[in-house]
A and B are shown apart, each in its own frame.
Chain A
């Protein structure tokens, strides 16, 4: 039962353009969502998060949008840079869903071409 799903295993964009990574979830008890970035041979690093009381959170070039009715979130990166090339994981959790246990999606490999 995949409660958090990233349907696109890969995405390729040109430098300077917008990257949009998508994530869907099924558990309506999730109330907090995060994005992690992972470079090869490194552990995931926290990027940005959003709680269910908001529909948008912005941090520099990164913006996360949450559509609760559709159980969908997306990460926008603009402008995209070659250094953004990495695997991006979305994760979700909630106090009612086993405390601080995060459920991760499968990841999307983003490639930003110079």
Chain B
């Protein structure tokens, strides 16, 4: 079974430029997460989707970040315009609901490492 696929793996851009990350979750997983991991820190949730619906986006900086999950499968996370402080690893994860939330093991992709110059 294929894991969570993310692209690109690395991205270097200049500040004020736009950037987009793509995620394809594990087949059949209805829940999709985007996390940001700063250097030396643990992942922090940006947004969580249940199928096409964003059910938790309270930590997404909506002035410059946007996300979509059309058709409830793959997802795109966009930053426009990027700032120096956005340099981080952006992780996508997916899970399949089995009842209670803590039974949903989150499977992570390899991440996209973003460097903003």
A binds B: yes
Give the B-binding residues of A (Cβ under 8 A): 4, 9, 31-32, 36, 41-46, 49, 51, 89, 91, 93, 95, 98-102, 104-107
CB-based nearest B residue for A101: B45
The interface-forming segment of B11-19, B62-70, B75-83, B98-106 is B98-106
A65–B48 Cα distance when bound, in Å, is 29
Given contacts A101-B48, A102-B106, are A93 and B43 in contact (CB under 8 A)?
no
Q: Which residue of B42, B55, B91, B104 is within 8 Å of A43 (Cβ)?
A: B91
Contact count band on B:
20 to 34
Q: For residue A45, which residues in chain B have a CB less than 8 angstroms away from its CB?
A: 107-108
Q: Complex: how many Å from CA A44 to CA B110?
A: 8
What are the residues of chain A within 8 A of B4 when measuring CB–CB? 43
Q: Are B108 and A100 interface neighbours, CB within 8 A?
A: no
